Amino acid sequence: MRCQRPLSDAGSLPAIPPADRSAEDLMRDLYAAHGPALLAYVQHLGAGYHDAEEVVQETMVRAWRNAQSLDPAVGSIRGWLYTVAHHILIDRLRIRSARPIGAEPPHSEPASDHQEAVIERINFLNALAALSAEHRVAVVEVYYRGRTVESVARSLGVPPGTIKSRLFYGVRHLRTIFESGQLAEDELAG
């Protein structure tokens, strides 16, 4: 039975001359020393657990291919592994987001008829009609037409605070109307 040397906390390999150790031993030690941290790093970058495992495996394969050039005395092996894993993950994300030229776009849900959109618009217009004229003007001008509070206040000849107050109470009244569900029931009954 082979006695394994403990790995240091800094994440480097024990100082064993490359000629005295096999690539398999190096990989076993590399994975024991850096595998969990590398997996956590790849997951931190946004990969799911299974994707992260695949990235770590590919990183270890590349480390195995470059076993002769990995020397802890020259530089950080963990840094090299993180860099390789980062590049592998970026390549995988690019491949997933790329679509061949001329390929059909992914199938989407069938387009629903516009009936729901029409009902929502009618409900919204009915809710606006339920507001007082002052509240309705403030809500339409600021939220629908995209004007600033100051410009609406200037055009109506009132202070900006008045417009802000009308917006607050108008939106609160709209929220009450929509939360009650009264409009949808009225449309179905009518």
Residue 140 has pLDDT above 60, yes or no: yes
- Determine whether domain 115-189 maps to CATH 3.40.50.620: no
State the CATH architecture for 18-97. Answer: Orthogonal Bundle (1.10)
Residue for token pair 């495996």: 57
| Long-range Cβ contact pairs of 29-33 (< 8 A, separation 24 or more) | 29/4, 30/60, 30/63, 30/70, 30/77, 30/81, 31/60, 32/7, 33/7, 33/78
**How far is 119 from 178, CA to CA, in rounded Å?**
13
Cα dihedral sign, 54-55-56-57: positive
pLDDT bin (cut points 50, 70, 90) of residue 112 is low
Provide the residue ranges of all domains of the chain, joining segments of one domain with +: 18-97, 115-189
Query: Chain-wide mean pLDDT for the chain?
Result: 78
Q: pLDDT per residue over 16-60, tens digit each?
A: 445 556 667 777 888 888 889 998 888 888 888 888 899 889 988
